[in-house]
Each structure stands twice: as C-alpha cells, then as structure tokens.
Structure 1
Amino acid sequence: MTDGASSYFIFGAGFSGRAFGRLAAQAGHKVVGTTRSAEKADALRDDGIAPLVFNGVATDDIAQALASTTHLVISIAPGETGDPVLTNFATAIASMPKLEWIAYLSTVGVYGNHDGAWVDEETECRPVSQRSIQRVAAEEAWRVLAETTGKPLAILRLSGIYGPGRNGLINLEKGKARRLVKKDQVFNRIHVEDIARALVFLGEARTGGVFNITDDEPAPPQEVVAFASKLMGKEPPPEIDFETAELSPMARSFYGENKRVSNAKVKAAGFTFAHATYRDALTRMWTDGNWR
C-alpha cells in the first residue's frame, strides 16, 4: 500500500475483514472496521482497526467515516431482505467524495454445482443454495452502484476460508474432525492471509473485475483431515460414508456442489499466493505454532 493518503473502511471486520484490516494498519494506513457488538471492539483496536458498531442500522458515525474513505471493503453477507450495507448506506456510498475503489467479498458458491469440472470467472453462475442465490443478487447490486459512481469494483469470490484459529488442526485437537467420503467430491480452500494479501494487491492498483481467490489444489476433504492428522502425529478419524452420515441440512448442502475453481486470472494479474495448497498452509501453521 504505497499511497499514504489511503483510508480504509471495512464493513464486517470478522475473520477475513479483520485480517485485511490488520495488514493495512501495519502498513501505516487509517483503518475503520465495523463489528456487530461493542464487546468485540477492543480486539479490533488491538489490530489497529478503529471499531464502529453496525448491527443493521445506519449510524451517523459510520456515515462520517465513509466521507473520508478511499478504499471500501464489504465483508458482510446478504440476507433475505438484501444487502444490509446497501440498504442502509447506498446513498452515502454513492456520494463519497474521496472513494477510489470498492471490494466485495463473495463466494465461489455462486457457481453452483459443476460435477467436478473446472470453473473460472467466465463460467455461468447457477447457484443452488439460498445463500448463494442471495450472493449473486448482491454482486449485481454492487455492480450497479459501482457503475453509478464510476468507481472500480473488485468482486473476490472466496472458497472455504481457514487460517489460525479456524482449521483442520483445531478440529482434530477438539475431537470434531470427521473424514466424510463422497465419491469424486473436491473442494477448494483459501488461507485468510491470502484473502488479505489479495485485497492489498487489488486495492493498491485500484483494480476492478471478478477474481477467484482460491488455492491451487481442489482436494477431497478426507485427504485434508488425513494430512492434518499426520502432521500432529495422530491417528486420523475413521472414514464415514457421506450417504449414511448424520449431517445438518446446511452441511449436506455444501456437498451438493462439486467443482474445481481456477485462480489463473488473479495470478495473471500478478498476484502470488503465499499458501498455494492446504499442505503448504497446514505445515506452516503447525511449524510456526500459530494454528490455534
């Protein structure tokens, strides 16, 4: 982040948003981030992020912060009534005097099921789950707003997010890891640090467009559990047949979508992933001891 005048506002400084805010603050930039409760504010301050509470209702302090923002990052999921940020702040965002770039964190779920085939940013979106249908609608709503403002919009479609405090090593330690096996099923993943780094990369250049932010290697989930077990020197949990497993409707719905997501576009733009595969990432977290 080379522009000393940059000011970042993050709607939704949760796992991904906070990781980005921390990186931006470390580079010496002003960073404001929202949280749903005042109880989480101190943790954001510790990362150099000025906290504001946003629980779905517009506030004057948020509107004031937006007035000086150059880079706007949205990391809040839409709901049944639409995107809560647009519902409350579309007018304010459209008139932000210093805005230079917008980023919207979406999901590879918008592609739906492709029976294990490769997909890229040009692939037709055919979402299956209600949450992914809402994401497609939110992406389009942000495109419309960006076109109205004439500002570049980067849509980052993220695969399964993990990192320190949220990973297969933690699940094994807590005894919650399961080796579900569904024939030919694969998932992509993304380390939270690479989401933050991708936002930095795209934001510095004010780059717009749709980008898959995902690892190099879509893999069966049971293989990831087995690899984490080997790192920890533990016996992996037994394999469980997906068809007969007891799963929540949401958990089962994830397995209804099978695809291999390409990250070639963002690489062609010049971005390099720090955690290209789950093996790289888990090994590094285990070696560094920061996986908890």
Structure 2
Amino acid sequence: MTSSFFIFGAGYSAKAFAAERSDPAVGIYGTTRSREKFGALRRAGIEPFLFDGNVLSPELLARLKQATHLIVSIAPDESGDPVLAATRDAIAHLVPGLRWIGYLSTVGVYGDHDGGWVDETSECRPVSRRSVLRVSAEREWLSLGQETGLPVAVLRLSGIYGPGRNAFVNLRNGTAKRLIKPGQVFNRIHVADIAGALWHLAERNKDGIFNITDDLPAPPQDVVTYAADRMGVEPPPEIPFASAQLSPMARSFYGENKRVSNAAIKGTGYRFRFPDYRSAFDAMWAEGDWAGEGENDARSPMKRR
C-alpha cells in the first residue's frame, strides 16, 4: 500500500518534510487556516486543505480516512489539543490504514534545569503556560496510541532554524542581537533534521519520546558572532540581558536553561545532517540558500568589515 501522510499544521517544518520525499508516489496532504497559502503548499509538494481548528470538512475527512501516517504540528490552546478533539473518533474508527502518528512538541516541556543535561527520562517541569499545555497534549496523544494500538512518536524540538530563519537573515535585516546572560545556553535544530527524523521514525513505525536537537548547546550570542564572521560583517554590540528590551515571550525563553541530549534518536540509527549550528551555517552560506525560498545564492548587502 502506498503511504499517505496527512499533516495538521503544514508550515515551515512540513514543507521541509515534503522536500525530503524520496518516492513521488507517496502522497502528502496538509492543513492551513488560510486559502491564500494553498499555492505555497502546492509548490512545496503538499496538497492543501482548510482546517479552522474545530471542524473537519467532508473533503478533509475523506482524505484523512485514507492516511497511513499522521503528523500533528498544531499547538494546543487553553481548550486542549484542537487536532485531537477533532480527530479522536476518526482515528479510532474511520482511518483503517493508519500505521503511525507523529506529534511535534518542544523541549520547553523540560522547563529550567539550571544548565544541566536532560533526556527523555528527565522530569518535565515547564515554566511557561504554553509548555504546560504541551505536556498535557503529549500525554493525550500517547494515551490515544495505547488505546488504539497505534505507535505514537513525540518529537520534542529545540529552537528551529534553516533557510529563511537564521542569524544570517537577522543580520541582513538588522534585527540580530547579542544578548549576554552568563551561563545561558540553548539547543537548536535545523529544519532538515526535523524532516529527516520524521521520515526515519515514520518509516520504522517507531513510538516513544525523542528529543530532536543538535549536539551543541551554546550561548545565543556565539551563534550570531559565528554567522557574522561567515558573512564578513561586524556583529551587533553585546547587550546585557538585564537591560535588553524584549517581549514577554522572548524573555521567558531565557528563564529556561538546559542542555538537551539527543542520544535516544541516535539510538534508533538516525544520523543528523547538521549536528551543530556551525556545520549548518557553513553549508547554508556555501550553498547560498540561507535567505530562503526564492532567494537562492543570496549575498548580504551589508557593509563588509
């Protein structure tokens, strides 16, 4: 039976996933809230459907019934997980060919561990409300897997970057900052490795929880400095975190400090294409695709140093 992937929340990561399709016979379908995004999804190789977060249209339900794999990339809200609420009965009774479910979550569920290492067995002690909701959604999807006998893989993602979303773009746009908070580190993940991990787990019907993250937790200012060096431009000045002007959400990210292990996904045989930001930035700069779709071979208009 030819595989058919249905993605709830076909955004940046879903487009990268579609780009990694090796068999053109494999169908990839995905939802968006806006019909204006249909063209971009089709160009990415994803057949689009509207989903308002509440009701499955007859067309969407008909396609969902044919799915062999389900990927969920929509965040929960205060009412719970909208995809689970809309599809639970369908998954249990109307999708006979479904073989695997992948749920995209976040390493934010671990909360703050004072810079220490965490893995999938570590305690979840989320700080932000959005991460609290993620923990609940993870448990519900894993519970549905137990009820239905379907393998469910929870992919906990660290900070996502890739073409169009990276420090090169921020430097070009003049929005890059070097915030200094002593001892602060973050993990990251190139979008191509989210796509790669999804294909790897789906093709093997793997279940469980997996951190999808790089090998190099690092201070955020180091990433900006490295990108500026590759571009040949001056990095922005250092700004003490205490005096930085940040949105409440941006500031909340700095309230969580941890180093995230990726040993579990490696244990399944997956090998990261970009194990750290340096190798990824080197590749994006060399290939000229750092600026994103439609801007290949981009070069910075900024004054070189």
> Normalising by the residue count of structure 2, what TM-score does the alignment of the two structures yield?
0.93
Contact 1:35-1:52 at 8 Å conserved across structures: yes
1:50-199 matches, cutoff 5 A = 50-58=47-55, 59-95=57-93, 96-199=95-198
Name the SS for the 2:21 alignment partner.
helix
Superposed CA offset, 1:103-157 (max 9, x none)? 0000000000000000000001010100000000000111111111100000000
CA shift for structure 1 position 22: 2.9
Q: Give the whole-Å Cα distance in 2 for the aligned partners of 1:134 and 1:100.
A: 26
Contact 2:197-2:270 at 8 Å conserved across structures: yes
Runs (4 or more) in structure 1 with deviation over 6 Å come to none
Contact 1:10-1:21 at 8 Å conserved across structures: no
Count of residues in correspondence between the two structures: 289
CA shift for structure 1 position 61: 1.4
Q: Which moves more between the two structures, 12-21 or 222-231?
A: 12-21
Q: Does 1:286 align with 2:285?
A: yes
Name the SS for the 1:202 alignment partner.
helix
Q: Which runs of 5+ in 2 are unaligned?
A: 292-305
Name the SS for the 2:236 alignment partner.
coil
2:199 corresponds to: 200
Contact 1:119-1:261 at 8 Å conserved across structures: yes
> Normalising by the residue count of structure 1, what TM-score does the alignment of the two structures yield?
0.97
Contact 1:7-1:69 at 8 Å conserved across structures: yes
CA shift for structure 1 position 57: 2.7
Q: Give the whole-Å Cα distance in 2 for the aligned partners of 1:28 and 1:143.
A: 29
Q: Give the whole-Å Cα distance in 1 for the aligned partners of 2:27 and 2:73.
A: 18
Choose the corresponding residue for 1:17, options 14, 23, 27: 14
Q: Give the whole-Å Cα distance in 1 for the aligned partners of 2:164 and 2:10.
A: 16
Output the aligned Cα RMSD: 1.0
Q: Which runs of 5+ in 1 are unaligned?
A: none
2:219 corresponds to: 220
Superposed CA offset, 1:36-59 (max 9, x none)? 100000111112211001121321
Q: Give the whole-Å Cα distance in 1 for the aligned partners of 2:257 and 2:111.
A: 8
1:275 corresponds to: 274
